[in-house]
Amino acid sequence: MFLINCPYCGERDQQEFKAGGEAHIERPKQPTELSDDEWAEYLFMRKNIKGVQFERWNHAHGCRKWFNMVRDTSNDEIKAIYKMGEKPPSQ
Amino acid sequence: MTKNLRVKSSEYIDETNRVSFKFNGKTYHGFKGDTLASALLANDVHLVGRSFKYHRPRGIMTSGSEEPNAIVQINPNSNITEPNVRATEVEIYEGLEASSQNCWPSVEFDIGGINNFLSPFFPAGFYYKTFMWPSSFWEKYEFFIRHSAGLGKSPTTNDPDIYDHRNVHYDVLVVGAGISGILAAKNAAKNNFKTLLVDEKNEIGGSTIFENNEFNKIDSKTPSEWLKKEIEELKNIKNLEIKTRTSVAAYHQYNYILARENLTDHLEVKDKKNKIRQRLLKIRAKKVILATGALERPLIFNNNDRPGIMLSSAIRKYSEFYGVACGNKNVFFTNNDSAYESALSLYDKGINVEAIIDIREQSESKIVKKVKEAGIKIYWSHSIVDTAGYKRLNSVTIMKLSNDGTSVTGSKIPISCDCLGVAGGWTPSVHLYTQSGSKLKFDDEKKIFLPNQNTSDQISVGSCDGDFKLNEILINLNKKIKEMLNIKQTDFDSIKVEIDQENSKRNIWLLPSDKPLGKTKPFVDYQNDATAKDIKLALREGFRSIEHVKRYTTTGMGTDQGKLGNMHALGIIADTAGLKMGELGTTTFRPPYTPLTFGTIVGRNVGKFFDTFRRTPMNDWHLENKAKFENVGQWKRAWYYPINEETMHQAVQRESKAARESAGILDASTLGKIDIQGSDASEFLNRVYTNAWSKLAIGKCRYGLMLNEDGMVYDDGVTTRLDENHYIMTTTTGGAANVLGKLEDYLQTEWPELDVYLTSVTDHYATASLCGPNSKKVLKKIIPNLDLSDENFPHMSFKKANIGNIQCRIMRISFTGEHSYEINVQASYGKDLWEKCMEAGKEYNITPYGTETMHLLRAEKGFIIVGQDTDGTMTPIDLQMDWIVSKKKYDFIGKRSLYRSDTMREDRKQLVGLLTDDPNIVLEEGAQIVSELNQSPVEMLGHVTSSYFSPNLNKSIALAVVRGGKDMMGKKLFVPMENKNINVTVANPVFYDEKNERLNA
């Protein structure tokens, strides 16, 4: 059970949070310009890395804010947490 | 006649407090402080259970939670009986009743014991191999296998006890209160760390508390004396909390630890009442110190499982701590010096020790010399090749061990005995350590797995870190806690330790016998009856991974999780397969460390606290008027309101007719309501709904359909423009929370530039929906000054009004196709509003209707229910709702997906109406639809999603999704049921008032 440092509320138990999948997948600005394959790439394709992964998390039972997390999926070490819109830390 | 084997008084046993208890129906006596195991042993009872597979008689083997054999049933004659409890952990109290498990008719004479003689026919994987043929017979085999499987009996009624959960936070958690844990906790607390020390036993002190032999000294005192003084000092330390009878079950990441605190199990029945039985502590600790100690290993030799064969360390604990001798003629079998300490402990109390059989060639330590001086016979380089005694050990047979340890030679020497202490060295308890995600390494010299790579702020100290000698323990502990706590000194910096402990050990995983392996029974896992033979068979059959061998042979899979025998299993595999143990690894130690009761796991979340439920402000009225309820999400919604003896069908038919013919009223408070404000609110709605919102006038309402990005219908509802930058959105009852979450997600992550704020107001408003041709007259009576004319207040519009002093929002919208109004008031006025409507509607026979009638009425109109007529695979086009999808808007959530080749296929499942040829037959929801009856296999075209008997049309109607259904209007299809085929015709899904004339009726 992680201890997550919400950038707005501080350290809270994992059960207050909801995981939201891979981070930094931007919704295309002009979807109609995309081919089926390009749209499918955005819609369905997600990485599932063993190692350092960038993820979206939501403090669902708290401030309801979304933020990003860098997590090593092999040992669940949370390497960084940063707000939406902020630049991801360089690896 | 029972013997009394209480040989010495002990400060932990209160001999003035005699306790009587029953075991297998017979009354025995023990003392307060005894465990069931120590009390039985004091009465010379060793035989307590039968093994799982062969039903072999088994006795008490250990003195702790690692016990594999002495698994008993508590309160066996009660319907709240508890199975699989370790006799070594049960503290006796007046009136305790316990019995053996897995035996019938009794532990003394067990029919299942015949399995022991048939054991050549039960090799590893027996069930997998035997019951595979014929495959269709598995269900029949299963019935019998299930009946013979399992150890204890389950309780048959609800658990009446109270359980609790508590979240606690500490700077330092110390697990295990032996000498290492006590010193660690004491020094942490003294340095201002808020510290919790837990131990599973009823007394702290571990094994050092009864360490009285003359060879080890701390500051010139025996370790026992010295530690008692330390324990005495703990009482005065602030910041330190000590919890005994508290067993850590799980050690998760980020130092999140679950521990079970046992509060009343040791109390007398009258003292248990109304108290919390067990509490699950959910501990967050900044730092964790594991001082979990080590478990003694048995030795693996032929027939090593008879009652009377115990761990040498257990014999010592029973003698020193409980004052109980486990036998009158004791023999020890060892590969290291520990057994000599146990032997001396007995010898000092005048208990007969016949011999020590040592597989080593020699040992020169002081303690061995002392045993020699005591005249106890030592057989060096000997091994036990067999034991005898069915229900109690009566002799062992030994032979000389060859130099390489693989065979035995010379003549057999029988030694008569009634108790055998086995000492195979020590295994650090690293279970919790690995649960935390930390990694082990194998120490090839000591033949143990040791902590290696920590994943959180934790250390392992004492024997769980491989330090077995007192001086090593204290020196390393001192260093490690200074480093972890970042402190300069501890209160045992200048401690003086004298020791005479030898670590010399000869490790042989599987001891040889004069008979071939196939003819012997060297048990590795006692509880599951897995022998060395089974493990070797698994290897012969090609299993290599330790995880596979474990599951194939069931080694380590019992309630004890193989705490004693796992290392031997690994050793035997490594030896046989020619692998290194470090490469082989261990099986995964999963939580819980010891079994937890279900009560502890669920805590107070039982009965009505199992899940949250929500009731509307009008709920009391529904209850008073005998409504039946249905669960919709977490809501309890009024389902229908039967009058007198009405069935559901009758009630729904009556309610439906009333709503269309005069006036009906529905509690619609559960609909999700989201308040949307901000200068970009209209733009936001444009992006989340499929239709256009910019031109919606203030005071108007519009139905909206929301898609997922994949183009599938996600939710629907009516949204009203209250003001220029202010909307109120309604969602489905079940979808409210998810819709809000999804909208927040888009706002925060994709469109942060939009000035929009969302607030859930579902619980803030109560909603009564008035419907039917007389609804207007009812509303007029409640709010006489509101102009209800179609010109002033047309369909799909909104008005603010007052009912007396109560402000309300009224939307003229309809989910039934009738002229209707949704009246919203502040939630606390909900019941009042409802009662006013009922009063005003009396002259029109206003009829309250529930969700079932609502569903029927909307189905007559062909209105969908998201989640009933859709299932996450339906696009608006599939629903024949093309009209609501804006072609002009550049983008909205899901738009691009509507133009994917797959979503544009013509033969997708599409929503249609179905009419049965016989209007009295009502289809079953979920029934499959086909176009051919004489074909096999036949293509399933789709299924029925909604189906009712319509009293207003006097026939059955249904909605269905059918492959290519859009072009099948008028086509005859079939719904094959178990006993008949129903003929149906595809129809327009709008069955009633196709021209929507009744909206303005």
User: Which tens digits make up the pLDDT trace of B812-836?
Assistant: 999 999 999 999 999 999 999 999 9
User: Considering only residues 17 to 56 of chain B, which have any Cβ-Cβ distance to chain A shorter than 8 Å?
Assistant: none
Q: Distance between CA B504 and CA B592 in Å, rounded?
A: 34
- Convert B883-904 to b/e letters by CB count within 10 Å (16 or more is b): eebeeebeebbbbbbbebeebe
Say yes or no: B962 and B838 in one domain: no
User: Is-contact B303 B26, C-beta < 8 A?
Assistant: no
pLDDT of B150: 59
What contacts B502, CB < 8 A, 6 or more positions away? Answer: B336, B337, B363, B364, B365, B367, B368
CATH number at residue B462: 3.50.50.60
Quickly count: other Cβ atoms within 10 Å of residue B579's Cβ. 14
pLDDT of B527: 87
Last residue of a domain, one of B452, B480, B498: B498
Residue B223 placed within a domain: yes
User: Is-contact A49 A23, C-beta < 8 A?
Assistant: no
Q: For residue range B478-531, list pLDDT tens digits in order.
A: 999 999 999 999 999 999 999 877 778 899 999 999 999 989 999 999 988 899
Q: Distance between CA B749 and CA B762 in Å, rounded?
A: 24
Q: Which residues on adjacent β-strands are paired with residue B636?
A: B631
Say yes or no: B843 and B977 in one domain: no
Mutate one of B896, B899, B900 to test the A interface: name it (highest A CB count within 10 A): B896
pLDDT of B129: 66
Say yes or no: B761 and B904 in one domain: no
Quickly count: other Cβ atoms within 10 Å of residue A35's Cβ. 8
- Would you call B299 helix, strand, or coil by DSSP? coil
Find the CB nearest A1 among B254, B710, B897: B254
Question: How large is the average pLDDT for residues B755-782?
Answer: 97
Say yes or no: B826 and B708 in one domain: yes
Residue B168 placed within a domain: yes
Say yes or no: B700 and B815 in one domain: yes
pLDDT band of B893, cuts 50, 70, 90 = very high
Q: Find the range with the poorest average confidence among A27-36, B118-127, B914-923.
A: B118-127
Question: How large is the average pLDDT for residues B241-250?
Answer: 97
Interface confidence, given as ipTM, is 0.97
Find the CB nearest B750 among A27, A39, A58: A27
Residues of B in contact with A43 (CB under 8 A): 709-710, 897
Phi-psi region of B130 (alpha: psi -120 to 50; beta: other; left: phi over 0): alpha
Residues of B in contact with A30 (CB under 8 A): 891
Say yes or no: B845 and B889 in one domain: no
**Residue B201 tokens, joined:** 């036993």
Edge-to-edge strand ranges of the sheet holding B395-401: B382-388, B395-401, B408-416
Q: Distance between CA B119 and CA B115 in Å, rounded?
A: 6
Q: Find the range with the poorest average confidence among A36-40, B50-54, B130-134, B146-150.
A: B146-150
CB-based contact, B254 to chain A, within 8 Å:
yes
Q: Distance between CA B830 and CA B821 in Å, rounded?
A: 15
Q: Where does residue A57 rank: exposed (0-12), middle (13-18), buried (19+ CB within 10 A)?
A: buried
Asked if residue B447 has pLDDT above 80, the reply is yes
Q: CB B709 to CB A43 under 8 A?
A: yes
Radius of gyration of chain A (CA): 15
Q: Where are the beta strands (DSSP E) in B583-671?
A: 628-632, 635-640, 664-667
Nearest to B817 by CA among B565, B953, B990, B967: B990
Residues of A in contact with B458 (CB under 8 A): none
Find the CB nearest B896 among A31, A60, A77: A31
**Residue B879 tokens, joined:** 């629903």
| ∠ CA B511-B515-B518, rounded to 5° | 90
Asked if residue B903 has pLDDT above 80, the reply is yes
- Would you call B396 helix, strand, or coil by DSSP? strand
Strand B195-198 to strand B240-243: parallel, antiparallel, or no bridges (unpaired)?
Answer: parallel
pLDDT of B554: 86
Say yes or no: B748 and B829 in one domain: yes
Mutate one of B165, B253, B605 to test the A interface: name it (highest A CB count within 10 A): B253
- Would you call B72 helix, strand, or coil by DSSP? strand
**Regarding the domain with residue range A3-83, which homologous superfamily does it belong to in the CATH classification?**
Folate-binding superfamily (3.30.2270.10)
pLDDT of B116: 74
* CB-based contacts of B624-633 (< 8 A; 24+ apart in sequence): B625/B848, B627/B848, B627/B850, B628/B850, B630/B850, B630/B851, B630/B852, B632/B670, B632/B733, B632/B734, B632/B851, B633/B670, B633/B733, B633/B734, B633/B736
User: Is-contact B975 B923, C-beta < 8 A?
Assistant: yes
Asked if residue B137 has pLDDT above 70, the reply is no
pLDDT band of A90, cuts 50, 70, 90 = confident
CB-based contact, B757 to chain A, within 8 Å:
no
Mutate one of A64, A74, A81 to test the B interface: name it (highest B CB count within 10 A): A64
Say yes or no: B786 and B699 in one domain: yes
pLDDT of B28: 96
Question: How large is the average pLDDT for residues B856-866?
Answer: 97
Say yes or no: B904 and B974 in one domain: yes
Question: In Å, how far is A81's CA from the nearest CA of chain B?
Answer: 15
User: Is-contact A57 A68, C-beta < 8 A?
Assistant: yes
Residue B79 placed within a domain: no
Q: Distance between CA B614 and CA B634 in Å, rounded?
A: 6
Q: Please give the residue range of the domain that contains residue B280.
A: 162-291+428-498
Question: In Å, how far is B772's CA from the nearest CA of chain A?
Answer: 41
Q: For residue range B589-618, list pLDDT tens digits in order.
A: 889 999 899 999 999 999 889 888 999 999
Question: In Å, how far is B687's CA from the nearest CA of chain A?
Answer: 12
Asked if residue B149 has pLDDT above 70, the reply is no
Question: How large is the average pLDDT for residues B310-332?
Answer: 96
Q: CB A43 to CB B745 under 8 A?
A: no
Q: CB B749 to CB A84 under 8 A?
A: yes
Say yes or no: B227 and B276 in one domain: yes
Question: In Å, how far is B928's CA from the nearest CA of chain A?
Answer: 30
Residue B21 placed within a domain: no
Mutate one of B748, B892, B898, B900 to test the A interface: name it (highest A CB count within 10 A): B748
What is the SS3 assignment for chain A? CCEEEECCCEEEEHHHCEEEEECCCCCCCCHHHCCHHHHHHHHHCCCCCCCEEEEEEECCCCCCCEEEEEEECCCCEEEEEEECCCCCCCC
Q: CB A56 to CB B749 under 8 A?
A: yes
CATH number at residue B797: 3.30.1360.120
- List the domain boundaries for chain A: 3-83
User: Is-contact B439 B458, C-beta < 8 A?
Assistant: no
Nearest to B470 by CA among B832, B82, B178: B178
Phi-psi region of B872 (alpha: psi -120 to 50; beta: other; left: phi over 0): left
CB-based contact, B905 to chain A, within 8 Å:
no
pLDDT of B143: 63
Say yes or no: B812 and B903 in one domain: no
Nearest to A84 by CA among A52, A50, A55, A48: A55
pLDDT of B387: 97
Nearest to B239 by CA among B177, B287, B186: B186
CB-based contact, A43 to chain B, within 8 Å:
yes
Q: For residue range B18-66, list pLDDT tens digits in order.
A: 999 999 999 999 999 999 999 999 999 999 988 888 888 999 999 999 9
Question: How large is the average pLDDT for residues B228-254?
Answer: 95
Last residue of a domain, one of B455, B481, B498: B498
Average confidence score pLDDT of chain B: 93
Radius of gyration of chain B (CA): 38
Report the percent of chain B where pLDDT is more than 70.
96
pLDDT of B108: 77
Find the CB nearest A76 among B253, B895, B897: B253
Q: CB A64 to CB B709 under 8 A?
A: no
Residue B376 placed within a domain: no
Question: How large is the average pLDDT for residues B409-421?
Answer: 96
CB-based contact, A66 to chain B, within 8 Å:
yes
Asked if residue B741 has pLDDT above 60, the reply is yes
Number of domains in chain B: 3
Residue B796 placed within a domain: yes
**Residue B397 tokens, joined:** 């047979």
Question: In Å, how far is A70's CA from the nearest CA of chain B?
Answer: 16
Q: Distance between CA B552 and CA B566 in Å, rounded?
A: 14
CB-based contact, A62 to chain B, within 8 Å:
no
CB-based contact, B694 to chain A, within 8 Å:
no
Virtual torsion, Cα A7, A9, A13, A17, nearest 10 deg? -70
Last residue of a domain, one of B498, B520, B552: B498
Nearest to B598 by CA among B268, B273, B155, B77: B155
Q: CB B455 to CB A75 under 8 A?
A: yes
Q: Find the range with the poorest average confidence among B4-8, B112-116, B176-180, B793-797.
A: B112-116
Say yes or no: B832 and B873 in one domain: no
Asked if residue B341 has pLDDT above 80, the reply is yes
Residue B545 placed within a domain: no
Q: CB B900 to CB A39 under 8 A?
A: yes
Q: CB B748 to CB A66 under 8 A?
A: yes
Q: Distance between CA B276 and CA A61 in Å, rounded?
A: 29
Nearest to B7 by CA among B376, B418, B350, B312: B350
Residue B38 placed within a domain: no
Q: Find the range with the poorest average confidence among B321-335, B343-357, B554-568, B725-739.
A: B554-568
Q: CB B741 to CB A60 under 8 A?
A: yes
**Residue B191 tokens, joined:** 């340095």
CB-based contact, A39 to chain B, within 8 Å:
yes
pLDDT of B1: 39
